[in-house]
A and B are shown apart, each in its own frame.
Chain A
Amino acid sequence: MNADLAIQVSGLNKHFGDRHAVRDLSLQVRRGEIFGFLGPNGSGKTTTIRMLCGLLLPDTGSGACLGYDILRESAGIKRRVGYMTQKFSYWDDLTVRENLDFAARMYGIPRRREVVDRALEGLGLTNRSRQLTGALSGGWKQRLALAASLLHDPELLLLDEPTAGVDPAARRDFWEELHSLSARGISVLVSTHYMDEAERCHKLAYIASGKLLAQGSAAEIIHAQGLTTWLLRGNDLTGLSRKLQGLPGVLQTVLFGAMLHASGTDGLLLESTLRAITADSCCRMERFETSLEDIFIYMMNRVDTPGTNAP
């Protein structure tokens, strides 16, 4: 076992009845790393995270979190991991303070009052601490849940879509906080659907239909797919996008507002197709760094329609 790794699991499988929710999944997360976990809805992110902290038992596979075996030593994991569930899971009929206080008691945190006071202050909820949690807005609930999962100074944070429904300013604060935690050596596994957040992670993993499709830094993942992308600007991009579908070399078109991304693995073929098209329409085209979003859409489509796989 490698002491540098906060999470090291291999060959994880999980079935729910007939559904194979997670297939042969292996992950390595280094200590102090912010590890982004991406994938479409229902791809198995939550299921994987639950297996990591002992909430679900994998059917097969093995591994360790913070050096504790995920199958046998889940008690040790629970004490040192901060887990934030995707669906808000604090008690609506307790006040904000009572929820934090309860969490603090469960983790046996010394000088509880002080810790809870500090957390409330950090949240900016000091004067609403007596409010029932159910009355908080969605974004505030997320922030409360995050604060609660940090109370016991965990060594590893498992955050399942922590910023869903959170406003941009709070999201920025949140990511700054994550980076300062990471600088202190705390490891973070965070699932998200936001590309800007993915770009802020040290490492990424992309999962679709329970299969891990890519793992590494953003640059590595982009490079590994070998996609070339061109940016097209002009009028009627929707029509252009439709025209491009199925043309030689064009594997994918994605519309981003006033821009169209056209990608393919055969750069030369793609370029010549695009030049032919743009010649007789009033479009401008330029070479573009393939973005993470292009890559994820590309990977997702390849899983869904295996017949169209590029060679």
Chain B
Amino acid sequence: MRLSDEFSPARWWGMVLKEFLQLRRDRLTFAMIIGIPLAQLALFGFAINTDPKQMPMAIISADGSDITRTIISTMKGSGYFRIVGELPSEEAGRRALAQGEVLFVLTIPAGFTRSLLRGEHPSLLLEADATDPTATGMALASVTQLSHSVSVKDLTGPLAALAGGEPPFRILVHRLYNPEGISSYNIVPGIMGVILTLMMVLMTGLAITRERERGTMENLLAMPVRPLEVMTGKLVPYIAIGMIQSTIIFLAARLIFNVPFTGSVVTMYLAAFLFVIANLTVGMTISSLAQNQLQAMQLTMFYFLPNMLLSGFMFPFHGMPRWAQILGNLLPLTYFNRLIRGIFLKGSTLPLLWPNIWPLLLFTLIMMAIAVKFYRKTLD
């Protein structure tokens, strides 16, 4: 008699099958699984353009020569810059930037050409409005290539001696207003965590409240199936969904947004798996607490918003006030964002990622314990 009180793999599998069958027939959920990642990607990826072109630039020129004109036209040629005019002074440049009339101000100092010809490697100053770093990031990246391309093509005759070796001039970039300057590549991998948070928590949150609302919970409770079997049985299909969504976003990041991927795919899936489980336990807790689907939805939003805002997805984590960082450190998305960005952009390996893995594990354990504790074995 004790024996059948224990976890039964057969019953558990029955539960898993039931969930898959129901999911297969739930067209709306199915549409959400594919639709939400695509909508988010479109929103954050395309509408909020990660690689905008033709951004307004003003020039403060104290030195007009063939060479400076070549440099300017090369910048125009990159497609990122649109010259809107010349400004008389540094002060006027600052004002134009502050008012948002231009996103860039290029300053050509007096005596630039002369100094270049003497081989003194003079500098140009490019000031950028980096309030929205995703807007200016790509343009600034293109500028660092500029001095090389100008030098090779245009330094002929007496200047040919300057070609090769050290570039003949430098461009100093000043990012104004937001020195941290997140690269646009941050966004797309970040979307993975945001979508997994929303979908996993919402769907598992609804999974048990739905049974309660439809009255099928009474039947389930009257059967000799154990709470752990019900809960974990319900999780399995959502793990599968989480992995499918991770794949969609991974492919979109690589193929559509050309986000560099320097890490290992296995590590990425491992991180995604851990993160999916962490969120499923949150969903389980919510569905243990909520009385109906509406409440589950509200609790999901209540959980989702701080994750979205304080995890470093929307705002640079280190730019947030202290209290926000403390809150952010309690959220799994904070750690996942670091994991996924580390894997995508820095090629981080597991040992390097460990400081962001164990908090996820700990979070999962605690949530699981809460969910099982609050799971109601009766209709009370």
Contact = CB atoms under 8 A, between A and B. Distances in A.
A161 B39 CA distance: 48
- SS class, residues of chain B in contact with chain A: helix
Interface in B198-252: 214-219, 221-225
B1 interface: yes
Contacts, number: 75
A19 to B, nearest CB: 14
Interface in B1-32: 1, 4-5, 8, 10-11, 13-14, 17-18, 21-22, 25-26
9 contacts: A50-B379, A55-B221, A83-B222, A89-B215, A93-B21, A94-B22, A105-B17, A106-B225, A108-B4
B380 interface: yes
A158 to B, nearest CB: 9
A53 B378 CA distance: 10
B8 A108 contact: yes
B25 to A, nearest CB: 5
Interface string A167-182: 0000000000000000
Given A75-B224, A102-B17, 8 more contacts: A50-B379, A55-B218, A55-B221, A75-B4, A75-B5, A89-B216, A98-B18, A107-B223
B184 to A, nearest CB: 42
Contact of B215 (A53, A88, A105): A88
B215 A108 contact: no
The DSSP consensus for interface residues of chain A is: loop
Interface in A127-148: 132
A76 B223 contact: no
Contact of A106 (B216, B217, B223): B223
Nearest to B217: A89
A85 B222 contact: yes
A132 B26 CA distance: 13
A78 B379 contact: no
B379 A55 contact: yes
Nearest to B219: A89
A50, A55, A76, A106 — which one has the most chain B CB atoms within 10 A of its CB? Answer: A106
Interface residues of B, number: 28
A260 B232 CA distance: 61
Given A78-B222, A106-B14, A108-B8, A56 B26 contact: no
A interface, size bucket: 20 to 34
B224 A107 contact: yes
A138 to B, nearest CB: 14
Nearest to B13: A105
Given A79-B4, A85-B219, A87-B215, A94 B21 contact: yes
A272 to B, nearest CB: 53
Given A55-B378, A108-B8, A108-B11, A90 B219 contact: yes
Interface in B262-277: none
Contact of B25 (A53, A54, A93): A93
B216 A90 contact: yes
A106 B224 contact: yes
Contacts of A93: 21-22, 25-26
Contacts of B219: 85, 89-90
B14 A105 contact: yes
A285 interface: no
Q: Give the one of B1, B17, B223 with max A CB within 10 A.
A: B223
A50 B380 CA distance: 10
B215 A98 contact: no
Given A87-B215, A88-B215, A90-B216, A106 B378 contact: no
Contact of B222 (A55, A91, A105): A55
A92 B8 CA distance: 25
Nearest to B226: A75
